[in-house]
C-alpha cells in the first residue's frame, strides 16, 4: 500500500493502539494541525484508522465574572462587611458599609439568603440583616478561582464543581461557554497490521530542484506520488451572499439589455409614493397598517415639485386635461407632503419620468428596498425588494408588457409555466398579475404590472405609452433557488451560506 510520509508518521504515533486526539498527534509528530487532520482523513478512507468526534464544552470568564474575580461575589462582599460591623446592620447602612450599589445590594441579599449566610428581620420600622460567622468558600467561588488560571473543560469538573458552575450560569455575563469538536484517532485492525510492516522511510520530494540535480541527491530520493482521489479537508472560500449575488447578476443583465438604473431615497414623500400615481388620498393602502409613517419630521418639502403638484391636484379633483373625471374630492397638499418609508418601488418610476434626463424611447429599472407593516412568516417580511421597471415608446402595447414579464419568470426565476390574471391598480390600465409555476416547487405570485394611465403620465409631462411592472424579486430568487421560506434569504446560518450554490 502506498502511504504518504505524513500518514506513516501518524501511524507510528498511534502504534501503541491507544486513542489519541489530533492535538496529541500534533505534539507527538510535530506536524501542523491541518496536516494531521488531512492525513487522518486519508488514513480513514483506507480503513487504517477510525476517527471519532466529540463535542467538548469549555468555560471561561465573562465580563461580570472578571469583576467578581477582583471584588468577590456580591453576597460575600455584603456578608463580610456586616461581620466587620459586628454581625448586624440595618438596610440603610449597607451601601456605606459594603460599597455596593443599590441594585447590587438587592442581588447580594437574595443570593446570601439562598446560601443561608444571612437572616433578615424587622426591628421596629428598620430592616435588619444579621450574619453570625464567616462562611466557607462555596463551589461557585471555587470555580471563579479555577477560571482565574484559564478556561476549564466542563467534562473535567467534579459533581460539586458542576453545581457551582450551574449557580454561576444563572447570573448574566459571568461565564462564557464555548463548544469545540475534539477528534480522537485510533488504529483499526488493518492499521495495526500495516504499522508492523512499515520500514524506514525513503526521503520523498514533490519536485526536483537545481540543488538536488547538481549534488546528485536526486538519485537517493523518491518522487512523491499524488493520489487525486484522496479526501481533503473542506475549505470555504469567501464568496458573495447567494441572494446578493443573484441581485448583482440581475442588475448586470438588465444593464446589458440597455436599461438604465433609477435611484431614489428610502424615506419618500407621499406625493411621489401615492399621489403622483393617481392613488386617491383615502385609499386603504395609505393607512397606518399598510405604511410606515415617519414620526419626525412628519412632512417634507414639496417646493421642487410645485409645477407638478398643481397638475396632480387638478387630476385628482376633476381629471385636469387627461379626459378623466378624477376622483371628485378636495386634494390635500399637506397630506401629499407626508413622509413615509417607501412602500413600493413605483415612486422611482415617477422620479425617472419627471427627470430632465428622461429619454424617449427609454428603458429604466431599479431594485428597490420597500417597507410595509406585515406579519413575518415564510412568505412575508416587513421589508422586501422589488424589481421595478418602465419602458417608454410610441408603439408599445400590452403584448410588449406580457413578453417582458414572461422573460422575467422564465429566464430569471427559471419557471416552467407562466400565467397572467387581470388585476387592478389605481395607476395602470389595463393591469395584470404575474404568476409562475416550477416543477417540484409550485405556483408563486410575483407581482403586478400594467400600462400607466394618462392620469399618471400626462401630469408628469409624458405623452407616450409607458409599460410598468413591480415584481417581488425576493420571490424570483426563491423559485430559482427552490427556497420555500423567505427568511432564508437573509439568514446568518453559516452552514447554509457555505453550502448554497451560487445561482
pLDDT at 295 over 70: yes
Q: Report how far residue 214's alpha carbon sits from residue 220's, in angstroms, rounded to the nearest whole number.
A: 13
Residue 91 sits in the same domain as residue 190: no
Exposed/middle/buried for 197, CB within 10 Å: 0-12, 13-18, 19+? exposed
pLDDT tier for residue 493 given thresholds of 50, 70 and 90: confident
Q: Which residues contact 350 (CB under 8 A, 6 or more apart)?
A: 272, 276, 277, 460
Each residue of 43-74: pLDDT tens digit? 998 899 999 988 888 899 999 999 998 888 99
What pLDDT is attached to residue 427? Answer: 93
- Cα 351 from chain centroid (whole Å): 32
Residue 196 sits in the same domain as residue 143: no
DSSP-based three-state secondary structure for 259: coil
Each residue of 184-228: pLDDT tens digit? 999 999 988 888 887 655 556 777 888 888 888 888 777 777 767
Among the listed residues 237, 239, 413, 428, the one whose alpha carbon sits nearest the alpha carbon of residue 349: 428
Q: Report how far residue 142's alpha carbon sits from residue 129's, in angstroms, rounded to the nearest whole number.
A: 26
Whether 344 contacts 469, CB under 8 Å: no
- Mean pLDDT comparison of 30-34, 50-54, 464-468, highest-scoring range: 464-468
With respect to residue 233, please indicate whether it lies within any of the assigned structural domains.
no
Number of domains in the chain: 3
Q: Report how far residue 279's alpha carbon sits from residue 265's, in angstroms, rounded to the nearest whole number.
A: 20
Q: Report how far residue 344's alpha carbon sits from residue 270's, in angstroms, rounded to the nearest whole number.
A: 11
Element (H, E) at 273: helix 270-273
Q: Report how far residue 86's alpha carbon sits from residue 130's, in angstroms, rounded to the nearest whole number.
A: 9
With respect to residue 237, please indicate whether it lies within any of the assigned structural domains.
no
Q: Which of 177, 197, 232 is the last residue of a domain?
A: 177
Residue 161 sits in the same domain as residue 139: yes
Which residues are registered as beta bridge partners of 463?
Answer: none
Among the listed residues 222, 198, 230, 153, the one whose alpha carbon sits nearest the alpha carbon of residue 14: 198
Residue 12 sits in the same domain as residue 68: no
What pLDDT is attached to residue 497? Answer: 84
Among the listed residues 118, 116, 87, 124, the one whose alpha carbon sits nearest the alpha carbon of residue 105: 118
With respect to residue 239, please indicate whether it lies within any of the assigned structural domains.
no
Among the listed residues 329, 330, 447, 441, the one whose alpha carbon sits nearest the alpha carbon of residue 384: 447
Q: Report how far residue 141's alpha carbon sits from residue 73's, in angstroms, rounded to the nearest whole number.
A: 8
pLDDT at 231 over 80: no
Grid cell 482565574 in the structure block, residue: 148
Q: Report how far residue 112's alpha carbon sits from residue 94's, in angstroms, rounded to the nearest whole number.
A: 14
What pLDDT is attached to residue 310? Answer: 95
Residue 179 preceded by cis peptide, ω within 30: no
Q: What's the predicted TM-score (pTM) here?
A: 0.59
Question: Phi-psi bin for 265: left (phi > 0), alpha (psi -120 to 50), beta?
Answer: beta
- Mean pLDDT comparison of 164-178, 237-251, 299-313, highest-scoring range: 299-313
Each residue of 135-188: pLDDT tens digit? 888 899 999 999 999 888 888 889 999 999 998 999 989 999 888 888 899 999
Residue 26 sits in the same domain as residue 91: no
Strand 362-371 to 260-261 pairing? parallel
The parent domain of residue 185 ranges over 5-54+180-223
What pLDDT is attached to residue 204? Answer: 66
Residue 351 sits in the same domain as residue 448: yes
Whether 60 contacts 153, CB under 8 Å: no
DSSP at 344? S
pLDDT tier for residue 423 given thresholds of 50, 70 and 90: very high
What pLDDT is attached to residue 432? Answer: 95
Residue 317 sits in the same domain as residue 189: no
Amino acid at each position: 500500500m502506498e502511504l504518504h510520509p505524513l500518514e506513516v508518521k501518524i501511524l507510528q504515533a498511534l502504534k501503541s493502539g491507544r486513542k489519541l486526539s489530533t492535538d496529541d498527534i500534533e505534539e507527538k509528530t510535530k506536524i501542523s494541525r491541518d496536516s494531521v487532520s488531512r492525513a487522518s482523513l486519508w488514513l480513514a478512507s483506507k480503513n487504517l484508522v477510525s476517527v471519532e468526534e466529540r463535542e467538548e464544552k469549555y468555560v471561561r470568564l465573562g465580563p461580570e465574572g472578571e469583576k467578581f474575580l477582583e471584588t468577590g461575589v456580591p453576597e460575600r462582599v455584603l456578608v463580610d462587611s456586616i461581620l466587620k460591623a459586628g454581625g448586624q446592620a440595618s438596610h440603610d447602612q449597607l451601601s456605606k458599609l459594603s460599597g455596593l450599589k443599590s441594585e447590587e445590594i438587592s442581588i447580594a441579599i437574595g443570593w446570601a439568603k439562598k446560601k443561608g449566610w444571612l437572616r433578615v428581620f424587622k426591628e421596629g420600622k428598620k430592616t435588619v440583616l444579621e450574619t453570625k460567622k464567616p462562611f466557607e468558600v462555596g463551589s461557585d467561588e471555587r470555580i471563579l478561582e479555577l477560571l482565574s488560571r484559564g478556561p476549564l473543560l466542563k467534562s473535567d469538573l467534579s459533581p460539586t464543581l458542576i453545581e457551582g458552575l450551574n449557580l454561576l450560569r444563572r447570573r448574566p455575563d459571568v461565564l462564557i461557554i464555548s463548544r469545540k469538536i475534539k477528534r480522537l484517532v485510533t488504529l483499526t485492525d488493518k492499521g495495526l497490521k500495516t504499522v508492523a510492516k512499515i520500514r524506514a522511510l525513503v526521503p520523498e520530494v514533490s519536485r526536483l530542484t537545481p540543488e538536488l540535480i547538481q549534488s546528485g541527491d536526486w538519485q537517493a530520493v523518491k518522487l512523491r506520488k499524488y493520489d487525486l482521489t484522496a479526501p481533503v479537508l473542506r475549505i470555504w472560500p469567501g464568496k458573495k451572499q447567494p441572494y446578493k449575488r443573484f441581485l448583482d447578476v440581475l442588475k448586470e443583465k438588465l444593464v446589458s439589455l440597455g436599461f438604465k438604473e433609477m435611484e431614489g431615497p428610502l424615506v419618500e414623500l407621499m406625493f411621489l409614493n401615492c399621489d403622483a400615481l393617481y392613488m386617491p388620498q383615502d385609499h386603504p393602502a395609505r393607512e397606518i397598517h399598510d405604511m410606515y409613517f415617519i414620526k419626525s419630521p412628519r412632512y417634507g418639502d414639496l417646493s421642487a415639485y410645485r409645477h407638478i403638484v398643481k397638475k396632480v391636484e387638478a387630476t385628482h379633483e376633476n381629471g385636469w386635461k387627461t379626459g378623466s373625471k378624477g376622483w371628485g374630492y378636495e386634494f390635500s397638499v399637506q397630506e401629499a407632503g407626508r413622509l413615509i418609508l417607501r412602500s413600493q418601488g413605483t415612486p422611482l418610476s415617477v422620479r425617472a419620468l419627471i427627470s430632465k434626463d428622461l429619454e424617449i424611447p427609454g428603458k429604466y429599472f431599479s431594485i428597490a428596498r420597500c417597507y410595509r407593516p406585515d406579519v413575518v412568516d415564510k412568505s412575508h417580511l416587513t421589508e422586501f425588494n422589488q424589481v421595478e421597471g418602465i419602458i417608454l415608446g410610441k408603439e408599445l402595447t400590452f403584448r410588449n408588457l406580457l413578453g417582458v414579464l414572461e422573460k422575467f419568470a422564465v429566464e430569471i426565476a427559471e419557471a416552467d409555466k407562466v400565467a397572467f390574471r387581470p388585476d387592478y391598480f389605481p395607476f395602470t390600465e389595463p393591469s395584470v398579475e404575474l404568476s409562475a409555476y416550477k416543477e417540484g416547487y409550485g405556483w408563486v405570485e410575483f407581482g403586478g404590472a400594467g400600462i400607466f394611465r394618462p392620469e399618471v403620465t400626462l401630469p408628469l409631462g409624458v405623452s407616450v405609452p409607458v409599460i410598468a411592472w413591480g415584481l417581488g424579486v425576493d420571490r424570483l430568487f426563491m423559485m430559482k433557488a427552490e427556497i420555500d421560506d423567505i427568511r432564508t434569504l437573509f439568514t446568518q446560518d453559516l452552514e447554509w451560506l457555505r453550502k448554497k450554490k451560487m445561482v
